[in-house]
Structure 1
Amino acid sequence: MIRDLSPSSLSWDEVDPARHPFDSASAVREVEALALARRVPARPGVPAYGPETRAWCRGEAEPWADAVTYAFVRRYGIWTVGWRWAHDEGDFDGGPVGHWCCPMHSVTTPEETVARVTAALCEWREWTESLARWFDTYPLDMAAVEDQRILWERTARNLILHVVDRTGCGSGWYGHCRQVLTWFLSRWGVEPGLARELVDRAVGGRFRSWTGPDPVLVDDIAERLAGSLRPEDGPSPAEPAPDHLRRWLDVREAVPWDEKADGAADGPTTPSCDGAVKDIRAFDAAIDPARADGLLTALKLMRADAARGATLDFELLRGWQRHVLGAPQPPPLRTSPAFAKDGRERYGIGPDTRARFDACLAGSAAAVGGASLPLAARAARACLDVCFFHPFDDGNGRAAFLALLFVLAREGVALDDVSMVRRFSYRADDPGEAVILARFIDLTIRETRRRALL
């Protein structure tokens, strides 16, 4: 799937300016030169908050902004997803960015919009650089934490006040504040999971939207956080990277695929509009028209294969992938370990990978003469199989998207909106997220059917 576009999940390693070179002056020129800058969606000449404008925002402006994020990630790194983290109730609650609000308000003329995007990107970068300076105010050392608690406490207090000042304490500002404190501990060697736990304990749910914390509360949280640190919380020897494909195969068997699903969304569905085509033309074409053309060609071929009841396997996928990648021949199965999510997930390879992949994909079809999982669950599972087997050297997110649509199309179901099933990423070792994807698909089918009857 497309990498999660929410900045709230970013780690310090992903954001640390020392790890990700960036020059604001050249970025201004590069953003203006992007093809996206020439494809800013034209705002309709109707009342600002009417139904036509809302439809334009959802169907054109939001996919364009997502495409900008995707292009930034490819060019500069995952840290750039924060460019849309606006103050108050923007694209994401309670962020530090003031130059951008949301597509509804920030996408205007092409010149103004591109200027806002560039300013927001540079503002986000400046913010992360300022945090790095605060983190490094004192040469902290986990091994000497007993003697340095006053320094840890002082830095934590200053960081809370820094976030308060930058966000203005609007809607959900405390989410970024907790993240910044977690980043601070991570910077000095505390494992990110433990850092989040320590921060959550210290904060204790005492921050509130639209309310600045009083000095007593800030002091108490900083003191609690510093007091919770132990020398043994410091860096530990690195463990070998796990094989997330193996983890997925274990998780796959444990996922309650039919949880809270009664199959009511099963059965043919004819949408009022073609959601897949609409999204490709809005999102992928904004990134690169050739990318969109290839994906549309693959989509057409996929639907023809679904109409004839083809079996979903690697051979079928690689036929579509040829068009996705614009390659002269169908691409082969990868021959080396693959990585995703900025290197956080690793997918192994072995002599039986192809056979296991095909066996998993075979389960996407409805059982003949017996009970089957709900259609949404089978589509979700096939999509995640492609994500975590990661069969190709490139374009696996688009391959997973096509696999999901194929499972639906083979049973006569199409969607009028694919944003809920295409804008998120999922972790190989979390069964709950697999269930969430199945629910998203189920809900989208139901909503497609409902809207078709209006």
Structure 2
Amino acid sequence: MNIDLSPRSLAWADADPTRHPFDSASAARVVRSLGPAGRVPSRPDVSSGAAEMGAWAWDEGRPWADAVSHALVEQYGRWTMGWRWGHDEGDFDGGPVGNWCCPQHSITTPEETLHRVVAALCEWREWLESLARWFDAHPLDLADVDEQRILWERGARNLILQVTDRTGCGSGWYGHCHQVLHWFLSRWGVAPERAGELVDEAIGGRFESWTGPDPVLVEDVAERLALSLRPDHAVRPATGPAPDHLEQWLTVRRTVPWHEAPDGGGNGPVTPSRDGAAEDIRRFDAALDPARAQGLLAALDLLRADASRGASLDFELLRNWQQHVLGTPRLPQFRELPAFAKQGRERYGIGPDTRARLDACLAESAPDATRPLPLTARAARAYLDVCFFHPFGDGNARSAFLTLVFVLAREGVALDGVGLLRRVTFRADAPEDALIFARYIGTHLAETRRNAAASDV
């Protein structure tokens, strides 16, 4: 599972500045033209350490910063996600950016805040450009690695030192160091999966937060990495048909131990003290585009009416909600071609029975006395079904979220927060992702039950 807007998920193909044009001179104008620029949240007049400030940062500041990231990705590309990767314990921990920390400390007045966004974006871009220059300092060829090991070692050593200098070796700095070394190997043709393994083995868990590595350790990591490289670590051309990640998901779906999902603090309906789904839409989606938020809120009202009448979950229900989500004059149709997601890394096949198979999967979201499963498991599974069947041409993540809300609502459950349930991505072939997501639902549900009980006292 990945946080959808986390820079840790960036591959070098995403971040390589030679692939993604950027004009720093126009950045301020572009940032101020984006939807979130006109909706900077008002900072409460309390100290940064106050509990009220922490709640505001999570409930309002973070969704706004997520909206900025989303808008920047739409404008420039995925490389922009690193603008929030501040030093130490910021939004993402241990990054190279000094102009942004986190909503608690970086969102002030609208003008100051937007200035920080622009400065952080340009700082992150400058860092990527400097890395590209370091990567290309010596032309390398994996086929000649035996003759070039000293160059590979020198490159790795210099990059570690660059990262330690740029991050300050604060909390979690080694995560970005691992990423930069991975990027370096990828730049020169090492297969991505193998690159990650080689970097893991070279570092061996020896880098620590708040501690800069001594020169001997830096030399040892660089040497181990260089010595581990072989010509057969190169990327190999794909052979055979592209995998069908929908079929992979359906295989995984049958093997996940869904019964191990948490119960969310008990059974039975719960009415939250606030509407977490609607609040997140008003803070994140409205910051991007008020019309987008209006469509989602209309779909939310419709799905709750459907849930209250005990409607069966199927594609017909989904597309009635999706018409509001997309703002289309007609009901959206089930896709007719293979679909792609995650920058083309996942492909979802299509066949004459794909819609019927989706309906059969969604039907399993209802309680079944013969095969009882926790509500959290059934909600997570239905969400992932929509993600990987990918039924619509656009807006599938929003459709999946609405599906989750419906499954809960049909059993009288609503959540007072959804911070862990949106802007996340999952792999179709990773069974552990499914249970992690079910646990996240359980975390929110247990918290909602506690808060509801406290408000009744």
TM-score normalized by the length of structure 1: 0.97
The answer to whether structure 1 residue 343 and structure 2 residue 344 are counterparts is yes
Tell me the distance in 2 between the aligned counterparts of 1:260 and 1:446. Answer: 13
Give the secondary-structure state (helix, strand or coil) at the position aligned to 2:421.
helix
Q: Which residue of 2 aligns with 1:266?
A: 267
Q: Which residue of 1 aligns with 2:17?
A: 17
Q: Which residue of 1 aligns with 2:37?
A: 37
Give the secondary-structure state (helix, strand or coil) at the position aligned to 2:260.
coil
Provide closer, same or farther for how the CA distance between residues 265 and 78 of structure 1 changes in structure 2, counting only shifts above 3 A: farther
Tell me the distance in 2 between the aligned counterparts of 1:450 and 1:263. Answer: 10
Q: Which residue of 1 aligns with 2:329?
A: 328
Give the partner amino acid of 2:181. Answer: L
Q: Could you tell me how far 1:447 is from its partner in structure 2?
A: 0.8
Q: Could you tell me how far 1:233 is from its partner in structure 2?
A: 1.0
Q: Note the residue ranges of structure 2 that are not aligned, 5 or more in a row.
A: none
8 Å Cα contact 2:302-2:321 kept in structure 1 = yes
Q: Which residue of 1 aligns with 2:143?
A: 143
Q: Deviations over 1:419-451 (max 9, x none)?
A: 111131111110000000011111211110001
Tell me the distance in 2 between the aligned counterparts of 1:218 and 1:12. Answer: 22
Tell me the distance in 1 between the aligned counterparts of 2:43 and 2:248. Answer: 46
Provide closer, same or farther for how the CA distance between residues 5 and 142 of structure 1 changes in structure 2, counting only shifts above 3 A: same
The answer to whether structure 1 residue 184 and structure 2 residue 164 are counterparts is no
Q: Deviations over 1:116-142 (max 9, x none)?
A: 011111111111111111111111000
8 Å Cα contact 1:78-1:342 kept in structure 2 = no
Give the secondary-structure state (helix, strand or coil) at the position aligned to 1:421.
coil
Provide closer, same or farther for how the CA distance between residues 262 and 297 of structure 1 changes in structure 2, counting only shifts above 3 A: closer
Tell me the distance in 2 between the aligned counterparts of 1:84 and 1:64. Answer: 12
Provide closer, same or farther for how the CA distance between residues 64 and 375 of structure 1 changes in structure 2, counting only shifts above 3 A: same
8 Å Cα contact 1:3-1:341 kept in structure 2 = no
- Aligned pair count reads 453
Moved more, 442-451 or 300-309: 442-451
Tell me the distance in 1 between the aligned counterparts of 2:347 and 2:26. Answer: 33
Moved more, 345-354 or 400-409: 345-354
Give the partner amino acid of 2:166. Answer: R
The answer to whether structure 1 residue 237 and structure 2 residue 237 are counterparts is yes
Q: Which residue of 2 aligns with 1:123?
A: 123
Give the partner amino acid of 2:353. Answer: D
8 Å Cα contact 1:265-1:442 kept in structure 2 = no
Q: Which residue of 2 aligns with 1:5?
A: 5
The answer to whether structure 1 residue 446 and structure 2 residue 446 are counterparts is yes
| Matched ranges for 1:126-275 at <5 A | 126-239=126-239, 240-259=241-260, 261=262, 264-275=265-276
Give the secondary-structure state (helix, strand or coil) at the position aligned to 1:417.
coil
Give the secondary-structure state (helix, strand or coil) at the position aligned to 1:346.
strand
Q: Which residue of 2 aligns with 1:304?
A: 305
Q: Deviations over 1:324-344 (max 9, x none)?
A: 011111100111111111211
Q: Could you tell me how far 1:25 is from its partner in structure 2?
A: 1.6
Q: Deviations over 1:294-342 (max 9, x none)?
A: 0000000000000000010000000000000111111001111111112
Moved more, 305-314 or 237-246: 237-246
Q: Which residue of 1 aligns with 2:114?
A: 114
Tell me the distance in 1 between the aligned counterparts of 2:365 and 2:179. Answer: 39
Tell me the distance in 2 between the aligned counterparts of 1:232 and 1:55. Answer: 51
Give the partner amino acid of 1:20. Answer: H
Provide closer, same or farther for how the CA distance between residues 64 and 184 of structure 1 changes in structure 2, counting only shifts above 3 A: same
Q: Deviations over 1:256-306 (max 9, x none)?
A: 111153575331011011001111111100000000000000000000000
Q: Deviations over 1:220-249 (max 9, x none)?
A: 111110000011111211244311111111
8 Å Cα contact 1:380-1:434 kept in structure 2 = yes
RMSD, aligned α-carbons: 1.4
Provide closer, same or farther for how the CA distance between residues 43 and 263 of structure 1 changes in structure 2, counting only shifts above 3 A: closer
8 Å Cα contact 1:2-1:397 kept in structure 2 = no
Q: Which residue of 1 aligns with 2:405?
A: 405
8 Å Cα contact 2:261-2:438 kept in structure 1 = no
Give the partner amino acid of 1:46. Answer: V
Provide closer, same or farther for how the CA distance between residues 2 and 392 of structure 1 changes in structure 2, counting only shifts above 3 A: farther
Q: Which residue of 2 aligns with 1:420?
A: 420
Give the secondary-structure state (helix, strand or coil) at the position aligned to 1:422.
coil
Tell me the distance in 1 between the aligned counterparts of 2:305 and 2:411. Answer: 13
Give the partner amino acid of 1:23. Answer: D
Provide closer, same or farther for how the CA distance between residues 47 and 311 of structure 1 changes in structure 2, counting only shifts above 3 A: same
Give the partner amino acid of 2:22. Answer: F
Q: Deviations over 1:351-401 (max 9, x none)?
A: 11111010100100011x433211000000000000000000000010000
TM-score normalized by the length of structure 2: 0.97
Provide closer, same or farther for how the CA distance between residues 258 and 430 of structure 1 changes in structure 2, counting only shifts above 3 A: same
Give the secondary-structure state (helix, strand or coil) at the position aligned to 2:347.
strand
Give the partner amino acid of 2:397. Answer: G
Give the secondary-structure state (helix, strand or coil) at the position aligned to 1:333.
coil
Give the partner amino acid of 1:192. Answer: P
Tell me the distance in 1 between the aligned counterparts of 2:419 and 2:396. Answer: 17
Tell me the distance in 1 between the aligned counterparts of 2:2 and 2:225. Answer: 35
Q: Note the residue ranges of structure 1 that are not aligned, 5 or more in a row.
A: none
Moved more, 148-157 or 50-59: 50-59
Q: Could you tell me how far 1:48 is from its partner in structure 2?
A: 3.0
Tell me the distance in 2 between the aligned counterparts of 1:263 and 1:50. Answer: 29
